[in-house]
Amino acid sequence: MKKAINILVSLVMVAGLVSCNNGENKKGSQGKGGLATNAAEKVYVAPGEHDDYYAFFSGGYSGNLTVYGLPSGRMFKEIPVFSQFPTSGYGYSEETKPMFNTSFGFVPWDDSHHPDISQTNGKLDGRWIFINGNNTPRIARIDLETFETEEIIELPNSAGNHSSSFITENTEYVVAGTRFSVPVPQRDMPIKDYKGNFKGALSFISVDQETGRMGIKFQLMMPGFNYDLSHPGRDKSHGWFFFTTYNTEEANTLMEVNSSQNDKDFIAAVNWKVIEEYVNNGGGTKVPAKYAHNVYDHATHSATSTMENEVLTVDPTKVPGAVFFLPTPKSPHGCDVDPTGEYIIGNGKLSADLTVHSFTKMIDAIENKKFDGEAYGIPILKFEDVLAGTVKQPGLGPLHTEFDGKGNAYTTFFISSEVVKWKLGTWEVVDRQPVFYSVGHGMIPGGNSREPFGKYFVAMNKITKDRYLPTGPELEHSAQLFDISGDKMELLLDFPTHGEPHYAAGIPAEILKKNSKQFYKLADNKNPYATLSEADARVERKGNEVHIYMTTIRSHFTPDNIEGIKVGDKVFFHITNHEQDFDVPHGFAMIGANNAELLIMPGQTKTLFWEPKQVGVWPFYCTDFCSALHQEMQGYVRVSPANSNMELSWSLGED
């Protein structure tokens, strides 16, 4: 009996030791209540201290990009990209409206999916971040000094711009692939004639290394599959780009059944250097195509839109050695390349195992012409010839894989709701952690580069349910932060994200924060409607157009009393913020304007359009609490009847 008690006591002690072991505590690390021992310390950023990383989360159906700090999970900013944003007036001011111009007209919304930060020599350089608009195909470039959208280029011949926006390791190209294949050129034809007649365009958009300006270098016109995701080769595979495909069946209806028939779909391997050379030597065919190219200028604080008329297309069968298909089970979603460039991971969402292709074996098979037939003239390699290995039954519903730069891969599993860590080369699973719930993408800062910063992994979960206080039927998505610096992943933090963060890109804070702009120099303001001194503030009439050249400084508008405006006039408030200090924007809002407010940064000029519809004396005011006398920062516009003879007049400080 005594012996039995002794055994029991020692068992309890062992159990106690196990449960105290940092990070090993299953119950604790699930975060259902008590966090594992020092998780709170690991995410605590003391008041006034800064986070170690910036993390840029795509906004999904918000159309924008949100900026967070890691490890705190604090949100710093929402950067408007594809959607009108009343918080800053983006897309409402006359200067920014051209950013939404497309071949379909003004499109003030999109579905933004995959941000990627510019690189030099395969390392994050922090110049720009790119993101795709999925719905009305577009790619945007955001400047990481101003954290503002600088450029949006539309993609013709594309639809559901999903396998985008990923960049090559010297930012030579930002690449965008069509999810939906469509008739090219678009035309009136029966949907059932899809097979063999639709095309999938993969766009290679060059990036000017000085200015960042984008231009479509060429569009590769691929067979009518669905192109889901993509990644560039890097290091040894630099010069190649890899795209997952599904619906190689080319079904056009009841896709959930009809596009899941084939045992294997493909990863398309594209040698863009070969195509670049072909194009530089006059190859390819220019075809008519209408697409908008919108550029925002930081000197004028204004965007201009240009409609382009043609695009260069390339038929892959005309360029030997350019494109090959790697059979990949089964409806692969993510297409991820490890930091060495050797392994290409196809996350077959309906497949039991995870397939890893070898770049070396692929090159060998191509050189030895070991092909297994072709699809629309594109050679198909043999599955076994390019296989590096498989991760056996790692989980259910693999979607995406990230890398820590230490030989480990982290794959997200949507159906089994977990993150699985496995070793590149041995393919053994070394850890798995549940996520809450149903993870989509994961992100490791620099995970898309040759040099990841393998300290944190962020799981972007699709389903939130009970993780936060309920807010009615609509819940924000939840992200979860893991510490991956040890052998086992440790859950540190839950935090809500905005919209649907399909993907994110992280970068050490020190790379960006030293370059972050604090204000615009008033002397450098080249906006044609800028008012650089209060003495120049004025009101001018041109027919029924009235231009108000207004200035702001704490705490008044110049002028603040305006008379002689009439019903039916088209009024433009051109407002220049004369502050020259960090974090002193002024706002401007006019009663009855069919627009949002403006938020004008120090040194900037922005323009609000207003159509006065009713006779009276109507106020405007500053919307941003800028000083102790913010509430006094206001003015009046007198609106007279349309047939009035009232002359224009304006004043400040006169009775």
Query: How many residues are listed for the chain in this entry?
Result: 655
Indicate the pairing of strand 354-358 with strand 378-381. Answer: unpaired
Burial of 76 (0-12, 13-18, 19+ CB in 10 A): middle
Q: With respect to ligand CUA, which residue has the nearer C-beta, 509 or 589?
A: 589
For residue 561, the minimal CB distance to ligand CUA (Å) is: 17
Please, are residues 198 and 181 in contact by the beta-carbon 8 Å criterion? yes
Indicate the pairing of strand 561-566 with strand 634-640. Answer: parallel
The structure tokens listed for 50 are 């800064």
Q: With respect to ligand CUA, which residue has the nearer C-beta, 93 or 252?
A: 93
Cis amide bond preceding 585, omega within 30: no
Q: With respect to ligand CUA, which residue has the nearer C-beta, 390 or 627?
A: 627
Q: With respect to ligand CUA, which residue has the nearer C-beta, 544 or 631?
A: 631
For residue 635, the minimal CB distance to ligand CUA (Å) is: 12
For residue 597, the minimal CB distance to ligand CUA (Å) is: 11
Please, are residues 472 and 465 in contact by the beta-carbon 8 Å criterion? no
Question: Nearest to residue 381, comparing CAs of 349, 344, 409, 417?
Answer: 344
Q: With respect to ligand CUA, which residue has the nearer C-beta, 399 or 598?
A: 598
Residue 353 one-letter amino acid: D
- Cα 75 to chain centroid distance, Å, stands at 16
d(CA 475, CA 491): 21
Q: With respect to ligand CUA, which residue has the nearer C-beta, 449 or 623?
A: 623
d(CA 387, CA 225): 22
Q: Residue 537: what are its φ and ψ, rounded to 5°?
A: -60, 135
Q: With respect to ligand CUA, which residue has the nearer C-beta, 270 or 626?
A: 626
Q: With respect to ligand CUA, which residue has the nearer C-beta, 504 or 626?
A: 626
Q: With respect to ligand CUA, which residue has the nearer C-beta, 487 or 583?
A: 583
Q: With respect to ligand CUA, which residue has the nearer C-beta, 142 or 633?
A: 633
For residue 120, the minimal CB distance to ligand CUA (Å) is: 40
- Cα–Cα distances (Å) from 90 to 81, 100, 375, in that order, read 9, 10, 46
For residue 551, the minimal CB distance to ligand CUA (Å) is: 12
Residue 257 one-letter amino acid: V
d(CA 308, CA 207): 17
For residue 589, the minimal CB distance to ligand CUA (Å) is: 11
For residue 90, the minimal CB distance to ligand CUA (Å) is: 19
Q: With respect to ligand CUA, which residue has the nearer C-beta, 205 or 553?
A: 553
For residue 303, the minimal CB distance to ligand CUA (Å) is: 25
- H or E stretch at 5: helix 2-20
For residue 623, the minimal CB distance to ligand CUA (Å) is: 7
For residue 600, the minimal CB distance to ligand CUA (Å) is: 9
- Cα 237 to chain centroid distance, Å, stands at 24
d(CA 347, CA 342): 16
For residue 598, the minimal CB distance to ligand CUA (Å) is: 11
Neighbour-count burial for 455-487, b at 16+ CB within 10 Å, e otherwise:
bbbbbbbbbbeebeeeeeeebbbbbbbbbbeee
For residue 304, the minimal CB distance to ligand CUA (Å) is: 29
d(CA 171, CA 531): 38
For residue 116, the minimal CB distance to ligand CUA (Å) is: 37
Sheet holding 323-328, edge to edge: 226-232, 240-246, 265-271, 323-328, 378-381, 371-375
d(CA 166, CA 163): 8
For residue 628, the minimal CB distance to ligand CUA (Å) is: 10
Q: With respect to ligand CUA, which residue has the nearer C-beta, 250 or 624?
A: 624
Q: With respect to ligand CUA, which residue has the nearer C-beta, 355 or 604?
A: 604
Q: With respect to ligand CUA, which residue has the nearer C-beta, 135 or 555?
A: 555
Question: Nearest to residue 412, comparing CAs of 480, 330, 358?
Answer: 480
Footprint on this chain of ligand CUA (rule: CB under 6 A): 555, 586, 622, 624-626, 630, 633
Question: Nearest to residue 178, comparing CAs of 192, 190, 160, 195?
Answer: 160
The structure tokens listed for 119 are 């690189």
Question: Nearest to residue 497, comparing CAs of 72, 57, 79, 70?
Answer: 57
Please, are residues 591 and 620 in contact by the beta-carbon 8 Å criterion? yes
Please, are residues 326 and 344 in contact by the beta-carbon 8 Å criterion? yes
